[in-house]
Each structure stands twice: as structure tokens, then as C-alpha cells.
């Protein structure tokens, strides 16, 4: 039971290049989230998927697209990378259910992206 | 606007002492407050959750308090160990349909042997 996994761990892109960050969870959770973490800005939500087949914008969606491929997988795509997208990207999956732990997040190990 | 503030200065303490980290918030009425630990190069890991109507929550050497009047949560690590060195994040969850999670920037803790 690996929880949340992400690939790649590290990537260097040139401005204008595209790439897809992959995320998978084996916890059978319905929801999956993509965050970026930057110094001085904290964790910011990019996109989330409340269930298979649905996606919604978060706080900072511009420049990104997502695909909820199936219940396990949620990918984040940068169509034309910009230096401002240099960041650490985390995929997370909230605890299922309706109680207070509903928003407890299980995070993946992160992808460190450098855009030159 | 909604805002969360955590100690921006790193906290350095001696092994065995109690570490106390602060999370203050403004313009928000959270239903729950969560604390996470983040090690360098890793994703945050959930530690504790406290509800708005709870004053205190404990888990082993960890203790969290929540004062909705002061709009503040304190996170304590008693008998601290070098292995407790990490960044600690607080996050607020809104009430009712406002389940939006708001994150603090985190406080770096270093426990010196």
C-alpha cells in the first residue's frame, strides 16, 4: 500500500516546453488534489477532482490542465511551461467520508520542477 | 482577506525541552484546524486535528490547543528529540459548505542534541 505516488521526482524544462505530472493513489479515495508549494506562498491548490470524471479549478489554475483518468490517477499538464511555474508540485488525496477528517490530506512525495 | 500566520522565524530548542509553535488566523471561522509535519524533500504528513469546540487534543508527545476567541492554535511537542526537527504546517478547514482548506507557511523547528 504505497498511498500517493508521483512521477517524475524531478524535472527541468525550457520555457515553452510541455510536460505531464503523474499521480496515482491506491487508497480507493474519490477525491484527488494538485498543489504547488513555493517559498513565502505556502501550499496553493491548483486543481482538484471530487470524483472520477469531475475536475474543478482551485486557487491558481492558470497555465495548467488536469485529467482524472480513472479513480486512481490524476495528472497535471503544463502545456507551455513558464519560469513562474518553477515550484514543487504535490498531489494529495483527502480522507474519504463526511466526518471532521474529511479534509485530512494524504500527500505524495512531490515533483520538483525547474523551468529555465 | 483570510490569513494564517505562523512563526516565520525558525525555532531552535534543546533536546528534552518543550517546543511551542503558534498558528494565528484572521477573517475566518474554521470548523477544524489541522497540523502537519513536513520533512525536507517530502510531502506534508498529517499529525493532529482539533475541532472548534475542543480546547485541547493530545497524541503521545504532541498537544494542540485551539482558542477561537484569540483565533489561535498552539502546537506543543514535549520532551523534544532531534528527530522532531522538521517544518510544521497548520491548516484551517471552513465550516458548513465552506470546506476550503487554508494553509499556513509553516514554522521550521530544529531540536539540538
The Cα A35–Cα A37 span in angstroms is 7
pLDDT of residue B93: 82
The Cα A36–Cα A23 span in angstroms is 14
Whether pLDDT at B38 is above 90: yes
Confidence of residue B97 (pLDDT cuts 50, 70, 90): low
The Cα B89–Cα B108 span in angstroms is 9
Whether pLDDT at A18 is above 80: yes
Cβ separation B46–A105 shorter than 8 A: yes
Whether pLDDT at B98 is above 60: no
Q: To probe the interface with B, which of A35, A43, A60 has the most B CB atoms within 10 Å?
A: A43
Give pLDDT tens digits for A43-84: 999 999 988 989 999 999 999 999 998 999 999 999 999 999
Q: Phi-psi category of B15—alpha, beta or left, where left has phi over 0 and alpha has psi -120 to 50?
A: beta
Average pLDDT estimate for A17-22: 97
* CA B64 to chain CA mean position, Å: 7
B53 near B31, Cβ under 8 Å?
no
Confidence of residue B95 (pLDDT cuts 50, 70, 90): low
Window from A2-11, B3-12, B84-93 with minimum mean pLDDT: B3-12
Nearest residue, CB atoms, B51 vs list A90, A100, A105: A100
pLDDT of residue A81: 97
Run of H or E residues at B66:
strand B62-67
Q: To probe the interface with A, which of B6, B101, B102, B106 has the most A CB atoms within 10 Å?
A: B101
Whether pLDDT at B25 is above 70: yes
Q: Which of A81, A50, A51, A42 is nearest to A64 (CA)?
A: A81
Cβ separation B46–A104 shorter than 8 A: yes
C-alpha cell at A21: 505530472
What is the number of other CB atoms lying within 10 angstroms of the CB of residue A12?
11
* Burial profile A68-96: b = 16 or more Cβ within 10 angstroms, e = fewer: beeebbbbbebeebeeebbbbbbbbbbbe
Amino acid at each position: 500500500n504505497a498511498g500517493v505516488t508521483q512521477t517524475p521526482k524531478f524535472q527541468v524544462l525550457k520555457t515553452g516546453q510541455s510536460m505531464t505530472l503523474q499521480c496515482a493513489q491506491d487508497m480507493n479515495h474519490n477525491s484527488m488534489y494538485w498543489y504547488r508549494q513555493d517559498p513565502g506562498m505556502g501550499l496553493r491548490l491548483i486543481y482538484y477532482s471530487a470524483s472520477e470524471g469531475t475536475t474543478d479549478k482551485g486557487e491558481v489554475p492558470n497555465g495548467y490542465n488536469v485529467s482524472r483518468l480513472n479513480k486512481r490517477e490524476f495528472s497535471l499538464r503544463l502545456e507551455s511551461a513558464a519560469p513562474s511555474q518553477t515550484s514543487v508540485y504535490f498531489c494529495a488525496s483527502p480522507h474519504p467520508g463526511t466526518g471532521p477528517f474529511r479534509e485530512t490530506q494524504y500527500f505524495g512525495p512531490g515533483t520538483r520542477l525547474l523551468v529555465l | 482577506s483570510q490569513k494564517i500566520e505562523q512563526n516565520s522565524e525558525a525555532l531552535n530548542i534543546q533536546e528534552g525541552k518543550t517546543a511551542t509553535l503558534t498558528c494565528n488566523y484572521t477573517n475566518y471561522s474554521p470548523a477544524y484546524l489541522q497540523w502537519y509535519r513536513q520533512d525536507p524533500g517530502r510531502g506534508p504528513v498529517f499529525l493532529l486535528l482539533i475541532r472548534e469546540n475542543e480546547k485541547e487534543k493530545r497524541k503521545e508527545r504532541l498537544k494542540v490547543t485551539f482558542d477561537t476567541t484569540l483565533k489561535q492554535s498552539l502546537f506543543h511537542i514535549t520532551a523534544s528529540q532531534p528527530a522532531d526537527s522538521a517544518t510544521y504546517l497548520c491548516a484551517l478547514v471552513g465550516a458548513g459548505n465552506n470546506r476550503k482548506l487554508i494553509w499556513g507557511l509553516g514554522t521550521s523547528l530544529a531540536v539540538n542534541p
